[in-house]
Amino acid sequence: MRIVLQQVSSATLLIEKEQIQRKIGKGMIIYLWIHVDDLEDYPLKIEKIMKKIPSLKCLVGDSWNIDTSLQELQGEILLVSNFTLFGRNHKGLKMDFMYSAPYLKAKAIYEYFIEQAKKEWRNMQTWEFWADMRIESVNEGPINYVFDF
């Protein structure tokens, strides 16, 4: 699994087709995608993620001290699946997604991730798997984390 987190002061996600909008204030956008090797051991990886993310340190104020956890900040989370996180571009101009999990399996794991996250995290927004969307965000810092689990 690959996760990219961006600290934001606000973010809005819009699914234009269904006119669905999700908003968060100060917190993190979490982009998540499933690797083909995650199909069997994903529950253990998700358990690690659930413990790690609330403890991640965030930038607070203008002091450039990155010492307050997302949990202490009472930050909100916007969870977004993003299949391009395992895209490769070694030749040419088009990305290759051979390391991304197949659609149906990735969707099931993403839904399992949401179930587990709802047990652990408050103030979380999600979006519909594989929907066409627009995200507007005001990044803080910028502070970004990238994890491979």
Q: How confident is the model at residue 24 (pLDDT cuts 50, 70, 90)?
A: very high
Minimal CA–CA distance to 29: which of 7, 55, 53, 50? 7
Query: Residue ranges of the domains in the chain?
Result: 2-148
Residue labelled with tokens 């699914």: 15
Q: Record the pTM.
A: 0.88
User: Amino acid identity, residue 67?
Assistant: D
Q: How confident is the model at residue 127 (pLDDT cuts 50, 70, 90)?
A: confident
Q: Tokens representing 33?
A: 């995608």
Give the pLDDT score at 4: 94
Domain 2-148 has CATH 3.50.80.10: yes
